Amino acid sequence: MFRKTFAAIVLTALLLGGATAAFGATPRSGGTLKVAASSLQSLQLYKTAANDITDSQSVIFDTLFILSKDDFKPIPSLAEKWTNPDPLTWVFSIKKGVLFHDDNPVFPKGTRREVTADDVVYSIEFMQKTSTAYTLGPITGVKALDRYTVEITTKTPQPFLVNDPNRLCRMCIIPKEAIDKLGEDGFAKHPIGSGPYKFKSFSPDSGLLLVKNAFYRLPVYLDAVEFVVIPDPLAQSIALQSGEIDVIKHLFNLEMADSFEKNAKFNVVKSGGGSYRGLGFNTTVAPYNNPAVRKALSMLLDIDTAYKAIIGDHGERAYGQVPPWVPFGYDPSLKDLWSYDPAQGLKILAANGFKDQDGDGFLDLNGKPFKIEIKTLAGSQVKALTILATQLREKGINASVLTQDTAVWADDLLKGNTTVFFDYSFAGTTGFHSLFHGSMIGAANTHFYNNPEVNKLLDEALTKVKFDELSSLWKKAQRLVFKDTVGIPLYFEYSYAVASKKVVDFVPPWGGLTLVSSENNVWLNK
Amino acid sequence: MGKYLARRILTTIPVLVGISFIVFALVSFAPGDSISLMLSNETVNVENVAKLKAELGLDRPWYVQYVSYMGKLVKGDMGRSVQFNRPVAEMIGEKIGNTFKLTIFSCFVSLCIAIPLGVLAAARRRSIFDYSATAIALVGVSMPSFYLGLLLILFFGLRLGWLPIRGLPTYDSTFLKQIRYLILPSITLGSSMAGILTRLTRATMIEALGQDFARTARAKGQSEMGVLFKHAFPNAFLPILTTFGMQFGSLLGGAVIIETIFSLPGLGMLAMNAVKFRDLPLIQGTVLVFAVCFVAVMLIVDILYVFIDPRIRYD
Amino acid sequence: MKKRNTIFSGAPRLLKVFARHKLGIVGLIALSAFIVIAVFAPALVRFDPYTMDLEHAFVPAGSGGHLLGTDNFGRDTFSRLAYGARISLLIGIVVVTLAAVVGTILGLLSGYYGGWVDFTVMRLVEVFYSFPFLILVIAVMAILGPSIFNVMWVLGLVHWPSYARLVRGQVLSLRNIEYIQAAKTTGCGDARIIFRHIMPNTITPIIVQATLGIPGAILSSAALGFLGFGVQQPTPEWGSMVNEGKDYILLNSDMILWPGLCIFLVVLSFNFIGDALRDTLDPRLSKQLK
């Protein structure tokens, strides 16, 4: 009898132990997570869209909400819930008992300074006033309704306000006293927020050290998080392999993804998001102002071969500009707009004045030699574009790729000193509007495209808050834009992070780097 | 002497003004500027960028901007970086230490290689030392620095794993740790200078050893070592010093490549990124600092000349 | 009474002296090999340097007819190196020619006329010397755009000061020699004096300087290519090939090894030749150049 009980106890213990092991054990406290950063020059808020800075800020500061790692829908962070009493009004209720960091030049050790609605109001106004890299959109008023409730009113309905990774998602909650006491410059040297890790020390372009905020509203496991600046992607990979760093949060070189995947000591984590890459036309310059010519050129391109050769599994073909991970507007049926039909394409070109008159093997336009110079930035797309240019050359179009310095490229695009160029969007929710709406000419609409029908659809979309309504409007607009072949979508490139096996629960950044949240909580399994 | 010094310093001023003017003109007339780069970001806040442009006075004609910049510079204000919104002087101050560490350590490494090798080669002509010194020197001068750097990384960093491949440890690092990180970059940066100086040392030592005073010293019973160090070397020293001074300038410039390969956050990388972003105040600041350093080194070399060789007179 | 102390007189004797420099001969042979490959590249290579063959990327040396294997795009490495030789050698020669011509003219004027001409030229020389050269080059490349043409004239701009200084020094030392004075008194025009009497005597040091300057120009253009300025892909320039290859260094180090080696060997050959030339033409010259 005794033996049976004993056996039962041992068996249960073993089962429990096994079960725990199978579930990956309970999180352990301790350790410093070392994250690679390419550049970390200054911690000023909202001056640059550079990922490393915004990622570090999302660890130091709280935001009202974060984007879920599964479907990028906004989930509560500092805000418990939010509602729309009417399409122009947003009411956020924030959690109680959230504290700003103590033990710093503004709040001495032991200070319990609670985050209130006034802080949220102040933070939003601060962002509106000082931000150059991000915009919140047309907000007409912000006010605190009570100690834990904030009301935001907008000029027109703003569905993007909480769905886009670059709007309210970027707004960091800061204490007014810190700005008053330290000034903006001083605050950048010693940021104070209410996030899971507090600022310890910063050596510009060398490293940033953050330590555990013991009073955070969720358990924090790591003792410290260190951002180690390693500008060169190759050096980052080597540092990861040698154990000098634990995580590369954004892998630049997709070939590295394959070699890390084969290495059992590392996990390659695919981000839910990525970026859009395509070819754009300046629709005001001949012969690209002729939609037939644009369509014909698109028929000469075997895009599947080109992008697969470079990206392989690390991306997917794009038929429209809106990517699959945006909650509305993704339309795979746009596939029917594109076909690889060189014979037909050449026929259309011939009908529009393209003929090889000087016998050099390349088509001339109305008697004059015709060249396409695709202007692009340096990056992985250069290879894909080179392949496409080679394809065009094989079909008889004298095409080449011109890699430009970033500032020159940006300038050329803005001034319209382009014909065919590399179209890039980091594929959040506002991209489609920015790239193709008539009012964005002179900013992101570098196609100089102004179609009143499209504008109308996009404007109407701005007034809708429900996803299905947005979706149908955007799908209609996309169809118009791409029937006009304003741009040629090429592919969506996935984003990857690589972490050593001992890092548990790491989520690649999207709209910020989330180390501690209701969905994930990073710890080190030594 | 004091008058000479004063005159030398005065002549550097038009040079520095000339440099700043060229930089200003280049960047101002160039396609692309920091504002349009900001506008190309699809999330940009257009109104605030317009406000920034006005604040920084970037809508004024370029000659007005230049005069305004020079006016501030004379008072010691290098302006603020457009890209990072931080005082340029502060940013340079952070990085200059790293570049200096790299440059000085590279000089040290070069001299440690060049002088002993050169002297040895001259003392033991046509020996294995002589030939290997010449060989090493030629390799140093002919090897592209980026190639050498990558080879060293490949070999010592990856295959053998002996040495770190980053320029500097992150922080709170001891002196010895920093030296360890600086070894590979310094060898890379210093290789060319080492090559030049080795051959120079060898050549000048050979010449000095052949001179009358050397022969006299030997006749008087001086040991070979004595002749080498008491008589020949001091005479050889001057041209070595001059060349060293001139090479120092190219070291400062060449640091850019080394900083890129070894991820060393120094002035070179700062300047290059500033150029990429057309961050005019930052470009101006870094270029001027480089130029001033170079000019200062030349001045120091000239002054040392006077002390070392009393025969030189400057009126 | 023309005394031409140039290399043209006594050439046979000099060739014999040169031939005694073993390294110089080695350098000459190696360089000739590169020149032959560069000039006859189209005929010598089996594959087009631009054609991509993605299924045969990173093929090891020797297989499939690829003498040195292929790169990440499946392009034949040997072809690219051969075409790259054309670019590097061309840049080296053009840059040095440009720098020498501009520098010589300015040096001649500066040394001969003195005064404010001299002052201006010397200040210009100092400005260009004190500029951190790489920064200037990068700034101009970033701004004017990368192209082989821009690379050439920008590098020429950086190198002319050394020729100006050299020539100026020569002119200063020659200016007071008797036959020059004599020529002046007989009413020879300035131009005639400069070009028929002074310049021929400066040619020797210029040639030596140029030979030693070509490797520098090649290294500079390779450095630019490496940093991503200068000649752009897909044009096969050795420096930019190393830049492309460094992304794959963990997978395949061949991509950086070959182009780097080529740069090294070409530069080394020029240095061998330059040394031999210098010792041959005038052993005392070596001091003037330092």
| Together in a domain, B64 and B184 | no
Residue A44 to residue B85, Cβ atoms within 8 A? yes
pLDDT tens, C144-171?
A: 777 788 888 888 888 888 888 888 877 7
Q: Do C232 and A402 touch (CB under 8 A)?
A: yes
How would DSSP label each residue in C13-26?
HHHHHHHT-HHHHH
Give kind and range of the element (H or E) at residue A411: helix A406-415
Residue contact A402–C142, C-beta within 8 A: no
Q: Would you state the pLDDT for residue B236?
A: 73
Query: How distant, in Å, are the alpha carbons of A318, B195, B302, C192 from that of B243?
Result: 59, 12, 12, 36
Residue A224: strand pairing partners: A32, A211
| Pairwise CA distance, residues B103 & B268, whole Å | 11
The alpha carbon of residue A365 is apart from the nearest alpha carbon of chain B, in Å, by: 29
B257-268 average pLDDT score: 84
Using pLDDT thresholds of 50, 70 and 90, give the confidence band for residue A355. confident
Paired sense of beta strands A371-377 and A398-404, if any: parallel
Tell me whether residues B141 and C129 touch, CB distance under 8 A. Answer: no
Q: Are residues B238 and B174 in the same domain?
A: yes
Collapsing DSSP to helix, strand or coil, A423 comes out as strand
**Bigger pLDDT: A241 or B213?**
A241
Query: Which stretches of chain A sit within 8 Å of chain C by CB?
Result: 233-234, 237-238, 253, 255-256, 259, 309, 378, 382-383, 386-387, 390, 401-405, 407-408
Chain A residues within 8 A of B168 when measuring between CB atoms: 206
**Does residue A407 or residue A522 have the better pLDDT?**
A522
Q: Report yes or no: A518 and A339 within 8 Å, Cβ to Cβ.
A: no
Could you tell me which chains touch chain C, where touching means 3 or more CB pairs under 8 A?
Answer: A, B
What whole-number distance in Å separates Cα of residue A165 and Cα of residue A170? 7
Q: Between the ranges A283-292, A406-415, B202-211, where is the mean pLDDT highest?
A: A283-292
Alpha-carbon Rg for chain C, nearest whole angstrom, is: 22
Instruction: Please say if the pLDDT value at position A248 is more than 70.
Output: yes
What token pair was written down for A356? 């090889």
pLDDT at A452 over 60: yes
Burial class (CB in 10 A: 0-12, 13-18, 19+), A185: middle
Is there a single domain that holds both residue B193 and residue B153? Answer: yes
Look at the alpha carbons of A114, A120, A126, A131 in this order and tell me if their dihedral is positive or negative: positive
Is residue C289 classed as helix, strand or coil in its secondary structure? coil
Same structural domain for residues B66 and B102?
no
pLDDT, mean of residues A232-239: 82
Q: Which of C52, C145, C248 sits opposite A387 (nearest CB)?
A: C52
Average pLDDT over residues A187-193: 94
Query: Could you tell me if B59 and B198 lie in one domain?
Result: no
Q: In this structure, what DSSP letter does residue A259 have?
A: H
| Confidence band for C95, pLDDT divided at 50, 70 and 90 | very high
Would residue B80 count as lying in a domain? no
Task: Flag whether residue A137 sits within 8 Å of chain B, measured between CB atoms.
Answer: no
**C-alpha span between A422 and A374 (Å, rounded):** 7
Residue A172 pLDDT: 95
* Closest residue in B to A136 (Cα–Cα): B45
Dist. CA C155–CA C213, nearest whole Å: 11
Dump pLDDT digits (tens) for C248-270.
777 777 888 999 999 999 999 98
Report residue A421 as tokens.
Answer: 């160029």
Subunits adjacent to chain A (3 or more Cβ pairs under 8 Å): B, C
Does A409 score more than 90 pLDDT? no
Residues B49 and B102 in one domain: no
Full residue range of the structural domain in which residue B175 is found: 95-308
Those residues of chain C whose CB sits closer than 8 Å to some CB in chain B are: 123-124, 126-127, 129-135, 138-140, 142-144, 215, 219, 222-223, 226-227, 239, 242, 246, 249-250, 253, 256, 260, 263-264, 267-268, 271-272, 286, 290
Q: Rounded mean pLDDT of B130-134?
A: 83
Same domain, B166 and B237: yes
Higher-confidence residue: C9 or C55?
C55
Q: What is the mean pLDDT of chain A?
A: 87
Contacts of B29 (CB under 8 A, 6+ apart): B62, C143
Please determine, for residue A112, whether its predicted confidence score (pLDDT) is greater than 60: yes
Q: What is the pLDDT of residue A150?
A: 95
Residue A68, exposed/middle/buried by CB under 10 A (0-12, 13-18, 19+)?
middle
Same-domain status, B61 and B133: no
Nearest CB to C228 within list A256, A378, A390: A378
pLDDT beyond 70 at A223 = yes
Asked if residue A96 has pLDDT above 90, the reply is: yes
The per-residue pLDDT for C48 is 81
Please give the torsion angle defined by the CA atoms of residues C73, C76, C81 and C82, in that order, rounded to the nearest 10 degrees: -140
Please check the confidence at residue B314 and state whether its pLDDT lies above 50: no
C-alpha distances (whole Å) from A31 to each of A20, A246, B92 are 22, 11, 34
Q: Which has more confidence, C138 or A183?
A: A183
Total domains in chain B come to 2
Using CA atoms, how far residue A88 sits from A137, A152, A168, A473, B257, in Å, is: 12, 8, 15, 20, 54
Measure in Å the smallest separation between the Cα of C274 and chain B Cα atoms.
11
What is the pLDDT at residue A313?
A: 82
Closest CA to A420 of A443, A389, A451: A389
Nearest residue to A434 via CA among A160, A28, A76: A160
- Here the tokens at position A152 are 């935001």
pLDDT of A278 over the 70 cut: yes
What local confidence, expressed as pLDDT, does residue A106 receive? 92
Residues B160 and B271 in one domain: yes
Other beta carbons less than 10 A from residue C287's beta carbon: 12
Residue A349 has pLDDT above 50, yes or no: yes
Smallest CA-to-CA distance from A373 within A416, A420, A306 is with A420
Please list, in sequence order, all residues whose beta carbon lies within 8 angstroms of the beta carbon of residue A210, skipping any fewer than 6 positions away.
A56, A59, A60, A197, A198, A199, A200, A224, A225, A226, A227
Average of pLDDT values for C90-97?
92
Whole-number Å distance between alpha carbons of A174 and A187? 10
pLDDT above 60 for A17: no
Q: Which residue in C has a C-alpha nearest to residue A394's C-alpha?
A: C51
Residues 6+ apart with CB under 8 A from C267: B141, B142, B143, B144, C215, C218, C219
Domains of chain A, earliest start first: 32-246+502-524 (3.40.190.10), 272-494 (3.10.105.10)
How far is C-alpha A105 from the chain's CA centre?
Answer: 34
Are A2 and A213 spatial neighbours (Cβ–Cβ below 8 Å)?
A: no
> How do residues A122-158 score in pLDDT, each as one tens digit?
999 999 999 988 988 889 999 999 999 999 999 988 8
The answer as to whether B90 is a domain residue is no
pLDDT at A80: 93
List, in order, residues 6 or more apart from B32 with CB less than 8 Å away: A405, A406, A407, A408, A409, A410, A411, A412, B278, C143
Helix (H, G, I), strand (E, B) or coil at A277: strand
Q: How far apart are CA C39 and CA C33, in angstroms?
A: 10
The confidence score (pLDDT) of residue A34 equals 94
Query: Which residues, 6 or more positions from B243, have their beta carbon under 8 angstroms from its beta carbon?
Result: B196, B197, B200, C290
Tell me whether the omega of the peptide bond preceding residue C42 falls within 30 degrees of 0, making it cis: no
- Average pLDDT for A87-98: 93
In a domain, B315, yes or no: no
pLDDT for position A21: 47
pLDDT at residue B116 in the model: 87
Which pLDDT band, with edges at 50, 70 and 90, does A12 fall under?
A: low
Check residue A7 and give its pLDDT.
59
Among the partner-chain residues A234, A404, A405, the one whose CB lies closest to the CB of C249 is A234
Amino acid A193: pLDDT: 94
Q: In angstroms, what separates the C-alpha of A284 from chain C's closest C-alpha?
A: 24
Q: Cα–Cα distance between B123 and B229 in angstroms, integer?
A: 11
Indicate which CATH number applies to the domain containing B303. 1.10.3720.10
| Cα separation, A220 vs A27, whole angstroms | 10
Cβ contact, residue pair A386, C52, below 8 Å: yes
pLDDT of residue A498 exceeding 70, the answer is yes
Q: What six digits make up the tokens of B98? A: 């790293």
Over range A240-264, report the average pLDDT.
84
The partner residues of A32 in beta bridges, in order of sequence, read A224
Tens digit of each residue's pLDDT (9 = 90 or more) over A55-75 = 999 999 999 999 888 888 889
- Measured distance CA(B43)–CA(A474) in Å, rounded: 19
Looking at residue A20, what is its pLDDT?
47
Closest CB to C133 among B146, B253, B276: B253
Across the beta sheet with A354-355, what order do the strands follow? A354-355, A364-365, A368-369
| Confidence band, pLDDT 50/70/90 cuts, at residue A9 | low
Whether residue B270 is contained in a domain is answered as yes
What are the DSSP calls for chain B, one per residue?
Answer: -HHHHHHHHHHHHHHHHHHHHHHHHHHHHSS--HHHHHHTSTT--HHHHHHHHHHTTTTS-HHHHHHHHHHHHHTT---B-TTT-SBHHHHHHHHHHHHHHHHHHHHHHHHHHHHHHHHHHHHTTTSHHHHHHHHHHHHHHHS-HHHHHHHHIIIIIIIS--S--SSS-SSS--HHHHHHHHHHHHHHHHHHHHHHHHHHHHHHHHHHHHSHHHHHHHHTT--HHHIIIIIIHHHHHHHHHHHHHHHHHHHHHHHHHHHHHHT--SHHHHHHHHHHHT-HHHHHHHHHHHHHHHHHHHHHHHHHHHHH-TT----
DSSP A173: P
CA angle C220, A408, B89 (to 5 degrees): 75
CB-nearest to B253 from C132, C227, C256 is C132
User: Which of A38, A132, A434 is best to mutate for the B interface (most B CBs within 10 A)?
Assistant: A132
Residue C2 confidence class, pLDDT cut points 50, 70, 90: very low
Q: What is the average pLDDT across B303-307?
A: 73
Residues B240 and B106 in one domain: yes
Segment A81-91 shows an average pLDDT of: 91
Query: Quick check: is B85 in a domain?
Result: no
Catalogue the E-assigned strands of chain C.
none
- Chain C residues in contact with A259 by the CB 8 A cut-off are 250-251
Mean pLDDT of B65-71: 89
Across the range B227-251, mean pLDDT stands at 75
Mean pLDDT value across residues B262-287: 85
Q: Kindly provide the ipTM of the predicted complex, given to two decimals.
A: 0.81
Phi-psi region of A266 (alpha: psi -120 to 50; beta: other; left: phi over 0): beta
Which domain-ending residue is among B39, B74, B109?
B74
Where b means 16+ CB within 10 Å and e means fewer, A264-299 reads eebbbbebbbbbbbbbbbbbeeebbeeeebbbbbbb
pLDDT of residue A98: 94
A195: DSSP letter: S
Contacts of B16 in chain C (CB under 8 A): 130
* Helix H or strand E segment including C32: helix C22-39
Same structural domain, B24 and B172:
no
Range A305-309 average pLDDT: 80
Nearest CA in chain B to A436: B42
Residue B189 has which token pair? 């940066």
A406–chain B nearest CA distance, Å: 7
Please give the helix or strand (H or E) that residue A279 lies within, else none: strand A266-281
Q: Is C73 on the interface with A (CB under 8 A)?
A: yes
Residue B236 lies in a domain: yes
Query: Nearest-CA residue of chain A relative to B48?
Result: A132
Would you state the pLDDT for residue A162?
87
d(CA A40, CA A51): 9
Mean pLDDT of C29-47: 86
User: A303-311 and A381-395 helices cross at what angle (nearest 10)?
Assistant: 150
Bond prior to C234 in cis (omega within 30° of 0): yes
Q: What is the spatial distance between Cα A418 and Cα A60, in angstroms, rounded to a whole number?
A: 41
Domain identity same for B108 and B254: yes
Which one of B53-62, C9-18, C179-188 scores highest in mean pLDDT? Answer: B53-62
The answer to whether the CB of A325 falls within 8 A of the CB of A272 is: yes
Listed ranges A74-88, A260-274, C144-158; the one with the highest mean pLDDT: A74-88
Confidence category of residue C16, pLDDT binned at 50, 70, 90: low
